[in-house]
Amino acid sequence: MNVVEEKWNEIIEHLRVEHELSHISFSTWIQPLKVYNVVDNTVYLLVDKAASVDYIEKKYSLPLKVCIAEITGIEYEVVFLSEDDERIEELKKMSSASTDKRKTKTAAEKAGLNPRYTFDTFIVGNNNNFAHAASLAVAESPGEVYNPLFLYGGVGLGKTHLMHSIAHFILDFSPKKKVVYVTSETFTNELIHALKNGRESSMSDFREKYRNTDVLLIDDIQFLIGKESTQEEFFHTFNHLHTAGKQIIISSDRPPKDIETLEARLRTRFEWGLIADMSAPDYETRMAILQKKIELEHLEIYHIPDDVLQYIAQNVKNNIRELEGSLNKLIALYRLEGNGRPIDINLAAEAMKDILSPDDNKTVTPELIMDIVSDHFGVSIADLKSNKRPAEIAVPRQIVMYLCRKMTDVPLKSIGILLGGKNHSTIKHGVEKIEHDVEENEQLANTIDIIKKKINPV
Ligand SMILES: Nc1ncnc2c1ncn2[C@@H]1O[C@H](COP(=O)(O)OP(=O)(O)OP(=O)(O)O)[C@@H](O)[C@H]1O
């Protein structure tokens, strides 16, 4: 599904709020619109009544374009179609071609891979060229060269990106190969689930998934922490795959010898293959990453001056996620200012003020907790602050409440204000709910344990 289709409800809701549409205008003109197709950078919207096309086009084309860009971060043209429009036939053909294309992608989708994380989009610099070369060699000859391949490096330096690139490469050339990518958190939680279930079949399903694979990628192995049963199971999985000549790729924030909670027998095995580190990129690499992002996300339309890009690259040195985040924030600020302010160094400084004044001793603040929880679950800060009720948003929000309570001295009332103005009793309820659930739910306890370690790395 294209991002516009995925976020369509959010886009029209944004339009409703931003343009203060009355209920009647919204339900008459906007709600009935359907995303018919998205081809390159054009969104085709189907209008239910042919007679309305001209009116909707005149009145809503520009506002919709802006809202789509604001919500998706990508600029699209908007074209309105009625059902009898002759372009529909043309689009049908295109859409069946793209469905065919999609079919070939399902292996990568099934393996849970981010389509953006490929070798093509990965910038090679002095900081990562060894890890990159080793990854490419493994991708070209899985199970034959470095086994396991152990990638390590600090937060946001491209370990996940490189692992997904290997998996994409293998699946592109050998779509039939079984590739499993998981974080060690998922591995642990699936094991807990299988063990708790108590049925023989659950455990055999678990083993079938992890042992009957050609390539196993385990991200963030440092979180396979101090849990004997998990390490035991992983040890057998590892031996099984390694003996069968199957490829294992592991990532961590530190080398095997420094993972204190790791059993010695696993540590030794991780050292059997190749260990490659990824360090912080130099200035040229940071500039190249920013330029690549501009190209990939079609941000050229903003004509960001060179000195602004240089300013970002000079100031964000140790985390590529923050480098990308600074660019996103700059553009978001520019849009918010209604084009009133030019994109210049002042605007960049404002966009980056949280990053430029980092807390070196990393005091745990509610903002830090919110950032890490948002990143961990892939839920936006806006959603955490909202009143949305689906569990995939409500649970992370309650985890924020719980962790703010446990890890900071901030009063419940202030936590409520931070979380979009919730009252004291909502926060208290959230904290108590998680306190209760972690006692009963080992998977949740494991997840919270991992988030705590991300907030406060040892
Ligand atoms: N060399 C690179 N070229 C282009 N983009 C990169 C590069 N390295 C990292 N990135 C981008 O930076 C972001 C963070 O990278 P990634 O998630 O792979 O880091 P990580 O090392 O796995 O972080 P964590 O320790 O938090 O798991 C991603 O959006 C990724 O695409």
Q: How many other CB atoms sit within 10 Å of the CB of residue 108? A: 21
pTM of this prediction?
Answer: 0.73
Compute the C-alpha angle 324/130/164, nearest 5°.
Answer: 50
Q: Looking at residue 339, what is its pLDDT?
A: 55
Q: Ligand 1 in contact with 160 (CB < 6 A)?
A: yes
pLDDT digits (tens, 9 = 90+) for 261-296: 888 888 999 999 999 999 999 999 999 999 999 988
Q: Ligand 1 in contact with 159 (CB < 6 A)?
A: yes
Whole-angstrom distance, CA of residue 445 vs CA of residue 435: 10
pLDDT digits (tens, 9 = 90+) for 45-83: 999 887 788 899 999 999 999 889 888 878 888 999 988
Q: Looking at residue 297, what is its pLDDT?
A: 83
Pairing of strands 34-39, 42-47: antiparallel
Does 359 score more than 70 pLDDT?
no
Q: How many other CB atoms sit within 10 Å of the CB of residue 20? A: 7
Q: Known binding site: residues? A: 156, 158-160
Q: Ligand 1 in contact with 152 (CB < 6 A)?
A: no
Ligand 1 centre and the CA of 213: distance in Å? 25
pLDDT digits (tens, 9 = 90+) for 15-39: 988 888 888 888 889 989 999 888 8
As beta bridge partners, residue 217 has 181, 249
| φ/ψ of residue 393, rounded to 5 | -105, -40
Ligand 1 centre and the CA of 157: distance in Å? 5
Q: Nearest C-alpha to atom 8 of ligand 1 is from which residue?
A: 158
Choose among 208, 211, 206, 182: nearest CA to 194.
206
Pull the structure tokens for residue 2. Answer: 């294209």
Q: Provide the residue type at 415 as one letter.
A: I
Q: Looking at residue 433, what is its pLDDT?
A: 95
Q: Nearest C-alpha to atom 15 of ligand 1 is from which residue?
A: 158
Choose among 280, 210, 221, 214: nearest CA to 251.
221
Q: Known binding site for ATP: residues? A: 156, 158-160
Pull the structure tokens for residue 20. Answer: 């203060």
Whole-angstrom distance, CA of residue 154 vs CA of residue 258: 13
ipTM field: 0.98
Choose among 393, 396, 391, 402: nearest CA to 436.
402
Q: Which atom of ligand 1 is nearest to the CA of 124?
A: 1
Q: Provide the residue type at 414 as one letter.
A: S
**What stretches of 390-423 show up as alpha helix (H) in DSSP?**
391-407, 412-418
Q: Looking at residue 122, what is its pLDDT?
A: 96
